[in-house]
Structure 1
Amino acid sequence: MNALAGVLFHFIGGFASGSFYVPYKKVRGWSWEAMWILGGLFSWIIVPPIAAWLTIPNFGDIIRAADTSTLGYTYLFGLLWGIGGLTYGLGVRYLGVSLGSSVMLGLSMVFGSLMPAIYYFFNQSPGKQGIDYFFTTNAGICVMIGLLVCIVGIYLCGRAGILKERSLASLSAEAKSGYNFGVGIVVAIVSGVLSACFNFGIEAGKPLADVANQLWKAANPNQGEFLYQNNVSYVVILWGGFTTNVIWCIYLLTKNKTFSDYTNKTAPLRKNLLLCALGGTTWYLQFFFYGMGESRLGNGASSWILHMAFIILIANAWGVILKEWKGVNKSTYTSIIAGIATIILSICIVGLAKTLE
């Protein structure tokens, strides 16, 4: 039951992450930086401490009592991840929800799942899986197969993007708007690699989560692991993410003179505010539910792969629903559908791996 609940929580988190950019696409009359920083205030500053307070009332005491090194590394990985998150928005802007999310999250999946395992192979820690786990155990081999299958799915989605570019001249204006494969793919690679730092941040902030878990288990004996233990770590990680994004967005707002977007009378101010708040809050929920899934499956490769795979799946589904592939030829559309189906298969394989442990 723990494995099934973990997969379900990761699906909900993946749905939130794969859907968060949809409200932003409905914002009118504002520049990208104007809407991104406003939504980010909810993602990084407003919602995380509220979620932590509701689930861990003494989370502030846990942070204040933590070692400086724990806070420093957790914040640092959040800072690096913030660059990945920042460029994620640009990647989606230039490549669309489907292709952009597939490339960026695919890279994040590989780096985020394997790099911690390599680290723990050389620096063994109780309860942590080294890279040898993926080659010496049935469960680990199954996880690796699932990862490879997902990479095939990502390749098919990427191939669909290339085919889309080739047929761009015949696409509708709706599908063509903002699409720039050359710039987008460079941004996507940077974003994908650095976005994996969030998983490293969770590892660095584990001492914070462990304290929350121990306090909860002392007050609730024999009830398993604390579902919301990671919420305290998220507060620190997201401080780092906020730092990166607010500096860049203020720079753009100043350079492009787009502070005036907020007083633009032709823009639907109230609607834009609500959409940004919705997008930012939805974005945070991915990690809220990731933490719940991780508490059931563990913060190993399986959790990160499932989380990323569900995000890619939902993002591509939104791409089809939003008609990003409208007007493309049959082979292009077949490639994106095949990619989605392959990613679904990879999710099933990784889910199966947990039953083999």
Structure 2
Amino acid sequence: MGTNPFIGVIFHWIGGFASATNFIPFRGIKRWSWEVYWLVQGFAAWIVTPIVLAYLFVPNVFGILRQVHADPTSHAIGYAFLWGALWGMGGLTFGLAIRYLGIALGYAIALGLCTAFGTLIPPIYDGSIHTILHETSGQIILFGVLVCVVAVAINGAAGLSKDREITPEEKAEAGESDYNFGKGIAVAIFAGIMSSFFAFGLKAGKPIGDIAKTQLLANHRLDLWQNLPILIVVLWGGFLTNFIWSAILILKNRSIKQFAGEPGYNPMRASHSSGDTLVDFDPLDASTYDRLAPKTLAANYVFAAIAGIIWYFQFFFYSMGQTKMGKYDFSSWTLHMASIIIFATLWGLIFKEWHGTSRRTKLLVSSGLILLVGSTLIVGYGNYLKAN
């Protein structure tokens, strides 16, 4: 289909919306511990959905993976898996960043750092940064990355201002009873750096995508799906890390029985005094103390699975957008991250995370949002110049 940066930006926006939205179903999960619903959503996001969609869109997808694995000169699968496992550490702590900072600020700080590292380190590593610096289109793209980072800094300032202004009661009303700016910033920094390794995994898996593209064209299908097999391998690595940590927490907290209906602690929209979710716990109903009702338990599985499926679609559309960006497809990472922060900020406004803050704080949030939108347009324009 060829290069089309405008369509690529649209795909990245859709992927960003999916990523920013995947935490919403978690709000419907009742009295499950974090490690329980995180493992359920992870299995849906990192194992089931990538395999199913790649199988549907890419001919002989498992044959492609076997071919790459059998090639003694190729280390694509091993490196893609390794980077995925390192990225998984960022995914683990990313959930905590959202818990401590809220959706809007947690996404902004973690993904801001993820943007800078994930965008710039790959071209620095392979040496293409020199070409980028000496071409007008490349300079415009890097300017767009800079605008994105500035926007993230403004969002961080807004979060610090918010922390000083709103009361504990207002934080609880917005679902942020665990809000902690200092702890959240530390976790978000680590999550952002480690999460950037996903971009490295996609680059390491490029030989897989090249073979998939050949197969797609040979079968008269769109090469838009060429990166779906890479996602399978990278996400296997991410799932391994998350599975190990979730299993450790399940054993430590003895929460394995929650899979069958024993109530647990849900850190999102939860009460500190009882550890029970505010939207589900009824102190006048003794039946809510001991076990989850079958319908509630089934709903928990559904909500967690939906969260995982929505999460995967961020990279489903990212992989398509990347194929449309042309030579400087490294900029896809900036577009993706900026889009996530844009929609996360909008969700934060919808859920009144900034309710009760001053006009100055709201102005900072609005300015950050406008700059983020501008950064995606600047990066898209730079790719358009290069494509033409």
Output one character per residue of 1:289-323: Cα deviation in whole Å (capped at 9) or x when no partner.
11110111146332111111101101111111111
Match of residue 152 from structure 2: 154
Structure 1 counterpart of 2:288: none
Aligned to 1:192: 192
2:6 maps to 4
Partner of 1:114: 120
2:341 is equivalent to residue 326 of structure 1: no
**1:253 counterpart (221, 228, 250):** 250
1:33-112 to 2 correspondences below 5 Å? 33-66=35-68, 67=71, 69-112=75-118
Aligned to 1:134: 132
Read off the aligned partner of 1:101 and give its amino acid letter.
Y
Q: SS state of the match for residue 356, structure 1?
A: helix
Paired position in structure 2 for 1:297 = 325
Q: Is the 8 A contact 2:6 2:384 kept in 1?
A: no
- 1:135 is displaced (CA, Å) by 2.1
Tell me the CA shift for residue 338 of structure 1. Answer: 1.3
**Is the 1:171–1:326 contact (alpha carbons within 8 Å) kept by the matching residues of 2?**
no
Query: Unaligned regions of 5+ residues in structure 1, if any?
Result: 122-129
Write the distance in 1 (CA, Å) between the matches of 2:384 and 2:6: 9
Q: Does 1:266 align with 2:295?
A: no
Report the number of matched residues.
346
**1:16 partner amino acid:** A
Instruction: State the one-letter code of the partner of 1:356.
Output: L
Identify which of 341, 354, 371 aligns with 1:342.
Answer: 371
Compare CA radii of gyration and give the structure with the larger one: 2
How much does 1:171 deviate? Answer: 5.4
1:25 equivalent in structure 2 = 27
211 and 236 in structure 1: CA distance in 2 versus 1, 3 angstrom threshold: same
Aligned match of 1:127:
none
Distance (Å, rounded) in 2 between the aligned partners of 1:171 and 1:158: 22
Alignment partner, residue 201 of structure 1: 201
1:167 matched to which residue of 2? 165
Residue 233 of structure 2 is aligned to residue 236 of structure 1: yes
Cα distance in 1, alignment partners of residues 208 and 129 from structure 2:
25
2:96 partner SS: helix
Letter in 1 for 2:382: A
Higher alpha-carbon deviation: 238-247 or 322-331: 322-331
Please report how far the alpha carbon of residue 103 of structure 1 lies from its aligned counterpart in structure 2 after TM superposition.
0.8
Deviation readout 1:201-250 (Å, 9 max, x if unpaired): 01111111100101222333xx8x60011110111111100000011011
Aligned 8 A contact 2:59 2:216 in 1 = no
The alignment partner of 2:379 has SS state of helix
Does residue 16 in structure 1 map to residue 18 in structure 2?
yes
Moved over 6 A (4+): none
Give me the TM-score of the superposition, normalised by structure 1: 0.93
1:260-299 deviation line (CA, Å, top 9, x unaligned): 3231323621211111111000000011111110111146
**Please, what TM-score do these two structures have when normalized by structure 2?**
0.86
What residue ranges of structure 2 are gaps of 5+ in the alignment?
263-290
